[in-house]
Structure 1
Amino acid sequence: MLTSTKQTYNVRPLLYLELCAALFVEVFIIRLSNDNMEQQTWIINKVRLFFMVSASAQLLYAICTYKDYERMNHQILLTLVNKISTMQKIKECSWDLDTDDHVDDCLNG
């Protein structure tokens, strides 16, 4: 099922609730209108079509608005590690050299 992917996992409970509601409406329609089979079929098909359109829209919205927080956290950690290593290099170079011109040479070389 599509909701087992990371992008659509959050919409799964809502889809299950809507599916239960659609089934309830179908049973309700069948119980209330025993006489006209064509009308029952038409109404049930409309309920199913509405559920399909609604579920498709929700899945598409979930896919389009998905943010991979694990990937974003990894990028932030890499950026922090790079900044810290640069700061440590600057600190080491400043201990070795007294002028600022030599700090740039130390970082580049």
Structure 2
Amino acid sequence: MRYDENNIFAKILRGEIPCKKIYEDEFILSFHDINPQKKIHALVIPKGKYIDLDDFTNKASKDEIVGLLKGISNVAEKLGVSINKGKGYRTLANINEHGGQEVPHLHFHIFGGEKVGRMVE
């Protein structure tokens, strides 16, 4: 599968589609999900052109990998759901067809602000 330059997250990264930004640095952009599934539902996307987690781990630099993981923690802190500020959160990345991935750009969901519930129904 090739990276689709016109996926919605690529357009958000280029500023063609607005988002409600939470946090941004050289490696990631985070914003509120437009269709929240929980009280707090944010997305964290790498700025690089990566389709999914497998693509990312095979092609990303060490700095990008660390930047993404630290970025997820920074966003959780800003949202007040981190261990230091809240009661915890869930991160989720859907990978490819059977994993339920809808947008072909790696992204992590952060859910929190309430009990998230069972992992898989």
Name the TM tier (shorter chain).
under 0.3
- Which structure would you say has the larger RCO, counting Cα contacts within 8 Å and 6 or more residues apart? 2
The two structures have a TM-score, normalised by structure 2, of 0.22
Name the structure with the higher helix share.
Answer: 1
User: Which structure has the greater CA radius of gyration?
Assistant: 1
The two structures have a TM-score, normalised by structure 1, of 0.24
Name the structure with the higher strand share.
Answer: 2
